[in-house]
Structure 1
Amino acid sequence: MQILITGGTGLIGSHLVPRLLETGHSVTVVTRDPDKARTKLDSRVTLWKGLNDHANLDGFDAVVNLAGESIADKRWSETQKQRLCQSRWQITDRLVEMFKASQTPPSVLISGSAVGYYGDLGEVVVTEDEPPHNEFTHKLCSRWEQIACGAQSENTRVCLLRTGAVLAPKGGILAKLLPVFRLGLGGPVGSGRQYLAWIHIDDMVNGILWLLNNDLRGPFNMVSPYPVRNEQFSHSLGHVLNRPAFMRAPATAVRLMMGESAVLVLGGQRALPKRLEESGFGFRYFDLEEALGDVVR
């Protein structure tokens, strides 16, 4: 397959691209900085500097849209909220325009989203059918998904990746946690009772390949079948690192430090991959401690 990817140098993209090349696919990555991207990507990858110089997507079999500014790197000022939204909405909107301008559009668009789509639902077991809370993360993801669905037609199916916390050796949630936990200063956040929907990077990549190769469409919770509470996650990470993990971060301090974005760590989703499992996909990593051990090693 000829596959176009946005966000190809990000956390998920940097693992997905090598797998696609290994399995015989041809990959084109959209990037703002081709020189920088070339230092990170295999020489077999074709690079596009943005999408404005290209009118359509003729010649491509699939598009994987993973672009978007990290949601947890900065406090959520109104300016930052707009930046988070537009970094996702604009490129997705442009891709949809290119789908519609194609004589032979790609057969599938796999587009990013997140379990933040549901908002903070506490103890509620969350499948793809669960109605969301109307929070900022829902508004961001809902519009993102709505735009992507504009590419759907009788020739093109659209899959939406409602992704949880991705466990990978570099980047993601562990990039922030590992230095603290290795010093023995880690521990639960707030009450520690909030759920964390997680997924190992290998299962994330395998899930995307599954959606590429099977006639599926709609939203998919890209999470392990076994979400855990924050306190269990902290205990498991401390155990894997052979470090204590009892330095609790009070909710008040987290809110002072992070502002509105504190909901990312003080809230959570007890999300399950119902539609992915019903389609026949098999997870490699069910046990959190095994997944963390693999990533840390």
Structure 2
Amino acid sequence: MKTIAISGASGFVGSSLNKFFTELDYEVIPIKRETLDDKTKLESLLNSSDILINLAGANIINRWSESYKKLLYSSRIDTTQKLVSAIKNIENPPQMLISTSAVGIYDNKSTYDEKGNFSNDFLSSLCQDWEKEALKAKSEKTKVSIFRFGIILGEDGGALQKMITPFKLGLGGVIGSGKQAFSFIHIKDLLEAYKFVIENSYEDTFNLTAPKPTTNKGLTLALGKTLKRPTILPLPEFVLNIIFSEGAKVLTDGQSAVPKRLLDLGFEFKYKTIEETIENLCK
């Protein structure tokens, strides 16, 4: 039986991974805050773990005050530094570290695979620094893969749970122009991608997005069609700017990314389009 240690295990993705791999007869060990802050305990835990999945980080969809931006940074970078330091200090480190990043690392000028151009804003810089820290764990004993998440859609949490209520009430609509890219992935495809990479020991950077990115308008139309509700009430960008300040960019300035590396390796997505995804989750 393989052992998987997970930082950030209490979140939507972490709890989904815990359930998924437990049902596959892996032993899953959540890394608690007190363990993360105790060097000896952390090293002991990782010394007996085969795989480490790093998900820790404060919620990106929030108002980005200067203090919250510092929290976004420290919750990702500091945690990753502790994990990497522990890996380097032990005799039997995990065979693989899968660390998280986001497609927000790219600019919004084109559709990109994993070699796309980076932006120069706060979110991209955060992702770049996060990836650099994780890659320091790479050695002869430990492979490192980076998963750049798109917007994760699922029934039990994530972005869809937050946006579906106004649509059910007939109050849903596009955000701003609706033309901004929306790169997404069904939670079930995301879980299968983890399994695929772990079981094949693939070391690379992967876009965790469906093969066919859409736009905010495409998402809105798919929700309206599946829920049989009107989608005529747009949400102006200035309202989001008031609520989220700079953090509104996550919703108003999306990136278009495709999972070229996964597709090249033969991974098969079950939910390739936004229509298939929403129909499955909201039917």
TM-score interval for Structure 1 and Structure 2 normalised by the shorter chain: over 0.9
Q: 1:214: how far off?
A: 1.4
SS at 1:9 equivalent: coil
Q: 1:226: how far off?
A: 0.5
Q: List runs of 5+ in structure 1 lacking aligned partners.
A: 33-47
- TM-score normalised per structure 1: 0.90
User: Given the superposition, is the C-alpha separation of residues 212 and 115 from structure 1 closer, same or farther in structure 2, using an over 3 Å criterion?
Assistant: same
Moved more, 193-202 or 173-182: 173-182
Q: Residue type of the partner of 1:61?
A: D
Which residue of 1 is the match for residue 87 of structure 2? 99
Q: Which residue, 32, 37, 41 being the options, matches 1:54? A: 41
Superposition pairs of residues 1-297 of structure 1, within 5 angstroms: 1-32=2-33, 49-52=35-38, 53-56=40-43, 57-72=46-61, 74-119=62-107, 121-122=108-109, 124-297=110-283
Q: 1:184: how far off?
A: 0.5
SS at 1:161 equivalent: strand
Q: Residue type of the partner of 1:287?
A: T
Q: In percent, how many aligned pairs have the same letter?
A: 36
* Contact 1:189-1:265 at 8 Å conserved across structures: yes
* Contact 1:55-1:101 at 8 Å conserved across structures: no
Which residue of 2 is the match for residue 35 of structure 1? none
Q: Report the count of equivalent residues.
A: 279
**Counterparts of 1:179 and 1:265 in 2: how far apart (Å)?**
17
More helix by share: 2
Cα RMSD (Å) of the superposition?
1.3
Q: 1:293: how far off?
A: 2.1
**Counterparts of 1:19 and 1:250 in 2: how far apart (Å)?**
38
**Counterparts of 1:31 and 1:82 in 2: how far apart (Å)?**
21
SS at 2:249 equivalent: helix
Q: Residue type of the partner of 2:176?
A: G
* Contact 1:30-1:51 at 8 Å conserved across structures: no
**Counterparts of 2:36 and 2:161 in 1: how far apart (Å)?**
28
SS at 1:192 equivalent: coil
Q: List runs of 5+ in structure 2 lacking aligned partners.
A: none
Q: Residue type of the partner of 1:230?
A: N
User: Given the superposition, is the C-alpha separation of residues 49 and 192 from structure 1 closer, same or farther in structure 2, using an over 3 Å criterion?
Assistant: same
Q: Residue type of the partner of 2:55?
A: L
* Contact 2:36-2:42 at 8 Å conserved across structures: no
Deviation track 1:253-279 (CA, whole Å, cap 9, x = no partner) reads 322332111111111111000111111
Q: 1:3: how far off?
A: 1.0
Moved more, 207-216 or 181-190: 207-216
